[in-house]
Structure 1
Amino acid sequence: MTSLENIERYYDDVPRAAARVEEFGPLRLFVRENPGFPYYARPAGSGGEASVADVDKVRARQRELGVPEAFEWVAEVTPGLRAAVEGSGLTVSEHPLMVLAGEPGPAADTPDAEVRVLAADDPALALALAATHVAFGASGSQQEIADRLTADGAVEVVAAGIRSGRRIVAAAVTADGQALCGGSCMPLEGVAEIGGVGTVPAARRRGLAYAVTRALAVAAGEGGVHTLFLSAEDEAVARMYARLGFVPLATALIAEAGEGE
């Protein structure tokens, strides 16, 4: 099985641990059943071509559920879906899909923080998860977000994943316990995607995202992962991942409703 086949299977399998599946012919919607980031819709793997009407049906269901109207897929695997998604009025963005080739690159010096893989009971876990939210524009302070994630059970869901070996979380943590950068991956049958690596704005450009990503890559490899991949935000971020040993494989496509839609 090729890397792309492994990744395609992973995309379809990994949400099932925390979501139910709703089928819409050539499309499949994952509906999260516990706290955490909402999932997306993607190709069902049935071989059929999705139409604009198919996409419209899924979007209507997402609105009914109160979740983002979001679709994710690999361009090279399902090339015809883009036309249907754009025909439905969604905006599609392209992201380099990269896979680690060999051992991860050299460690980076991070004098401002210790970069470590977190245990389920690590006191920095909630703040590490909150760092990702802050990095991607969530409202509220990092502590407020950490408190919210703890109260709604999201931190415990992640902690349970760490205890079971289904999730790896790494963070850059200061001496006084502040998490400046966080990220995670979810190994499944030798495949894992690194995602959600984010640095709080005040700590950017210090190499922390590189160091956290490397820590995740090392831990994943030690845990038996043979196919480690990620989607870079853009070409500039892809160059950072290239320094770690990630090479381009394909193009990840993400479709979302624009403002006012």
Structure 2
Amino acid sequence: MTPVLKRIETYYDTVPRPSARAEDFGPLTLFVQEGGGWPFYARPALGVTGEIPVGAVEKVRARQRELGVPEAFEWVAETTPGLRAAVEASGLTVREHPLMVLEGEALAVPEPEGVTVRMVGADDPALHSAVAAPFAAFGVAPEPGTAERIGARIEAGWTRLAAALDGTGEAVSAGQHQPVGPVSEVVGVGTVPSARRRGLGLAVTAALVADARAHGAELVFLSASDADVARLYGRLGFRTVATALIAEA
């Protein structure tokens, strides 16, 4: 395992814990969301890199069904190569996503016209629209209370939120990074359909990287949805170092 992937593995094991209960299933850990919000997933226990039996996957899936949460697993292919076969044998579908790391500062991108790109605080009037914009990108609405939960995470220092705001102060693109010590992951970047193809997502990502660096992040990474999106992030200087895997029923 490379030093970068080792740091990312430690990050993945740490970042859910402030708002989740970790349940031990031997080679697997199931994170259970507490206090509402988007449900978490199961992943390899920290330090596990070898084969994982199908039985362990099935025990976790049974517990997820008992809890009424999605039967979902997330891991890095190169770190735990033996998990994929067990997950697929249990009947789940695995999707691949480029895992990308940025070394140094983000490369400059053209500043989009007609918007202001900035960080959004917990008491910011733009909070609700900034939280809603990435959901709108996928044609869904956030659950009630999502903005308040994100605001609480911002106040606690677990989440940093950036948005591109139009002339009315409404967010048309937004995203987050989630710092844990010197490592932060960029997540949830999305642009509302009416504002796409203007470079807003890249501008928001660049703002998130700048903020992460300003707050001491030495390693900034993200998972791209596919190779086409990975090429866009490449314009900021991100490079693919591994493959993030997500398995769902």
TM over 0.5: yes
Task: Tell me which residue corresponds to 2:222.
Answer: 230
User: For the Cα contact (< 8 Å) 2:119–2:207, is it kept in 1?
Assistant: yes
- Distance, in Å, in 2 between the alignment partners of 1:17 and 1:137 is 29
Equivalent in the alignment of 1:40 = 41
Paired amino acid for 1:43: P
Distance 1:112 1:89 in 2: 47
Kindly indicate whether residue 238 of structure 2 is the aligned counterpart of residue 246 of structure 1. Answer: yes
Contact 2:120 2:162 in 1 (8 A): yes
Helix, strand or coil for the counterpart of 1:186? strand
Measured in 2, the distance between the counterparts of 1:105 and 1:20 equals: 38
| Aligned residues of 1:31 and 1:38 also touching (Cα < 8 A) | yes
Offset, 1:46 = 5.3
Listed as ranges, the gaps of 5+ residues in structure 2 are none
Q: Deviations over 1:47-82 (max 9, x none)?
A: 363222211111111122121111000001000000
- 3-state SS, counterpart of residue 205 of structure 2: helix
Secondary structure of the corresponding residue to residue 246 of structure 2: strand
1:45 and 1:164, CA in 2 relative to 1: closer, same or farther beyond 3 A? Answer: closer
Moved more, 163-172 or 5-14: 163-172
Task: State whether structure 2 residue 175 is matched by structure 1 residue 174.
Answer: no
Match of 1:69 in 2: 71
Q: For 2:130 and 2:124, locate their aligned partners in 1 and report how far apart those are by CA, in whole Å.
A: 10
In the TM superposition, 1:129-168 aligns within 5 A as 129-138=131-140, 140=141, 145=142, 148-149=143-144, 152=145, 154-168=146-160
Identity between Structure 1 and Structure 2 (%): 57
Equivalent pair of 2:51/2:81 in contact (CA under 8 Å):
no
Q: Is the 8 A contact 2:9 2:46 kept in 1?
A: no
The whole-number CA distance in structure 1 between the counterparts of 2:147 and 2:206 is: 23
Q: Tell me how far apart the structure 2 counterparts of residues 137 and 83 of structure 1 sit (CA, whole Å).
A: 33
Q: Which amino acid aligns with 1:84?
A: A
3-state secondary structure, aligned to 2:15: helix
State the alpha-carbon separation in 2 of the partners of residues 55 and 134 from structure 1: 33
Matched residue, 1:218: 210
With over 3 angstroms needed to count, the CA separation of the structure-2 counterparts of 1:71 and 1:137, relative to structure 1, is farther
8 A contact 1:97–1:251 mirrored in 2: yes
Deviation sequence 1:156-190 (CA, Å, 0-9, x none): 22212222322110011111122111110111110
The CA deviation string for residues 5-60 of structure 1, in whole angstroms up to 9 with x for no partner, is 11000000010000001111111100000232111100013536322221111111
Q: Out of 1-10 and 66-75, give the one that drifted further.
A: 1-10
Please tell me whether residue 19 in structure 1 is matched to residue 20 in structure 2: yes
Quote the Cα distance in structure 2 between the aligned partners of 1:66 and 1:178.
35
Unpaired runs of 5+ in structure 1?
none
Aligned to 2:89: 87
1:237 Cα deviation (Å)? 0.4
Alpha-carbon contact 1:26-1:49 (below 8 Å) kept: no
Helix, strand or coil for the counterpart of 1:97?
A: strand
The one-letter code matched in structure 2 to 1:4 is L
Contact residue 183 and residue 212 of structure 1 kept, 8 A: yes
Alpha-carbon offset, residue 128 of structure 1: 1.2
Paired residue for 1:56? 58
Residue of structure 2 equivalent to 1:183 = 175
Select between 102-111 and 3-12 the one with higher mean Cα deviation.
102-111
Asked if structure 2 preserves the Cα contact closer than 8 Å seen for 1:117 and 1:170, the reply is yes
**Counterpart residue identity of residue 169, structure 2:** G
Corresponding residue of 1:123:
125
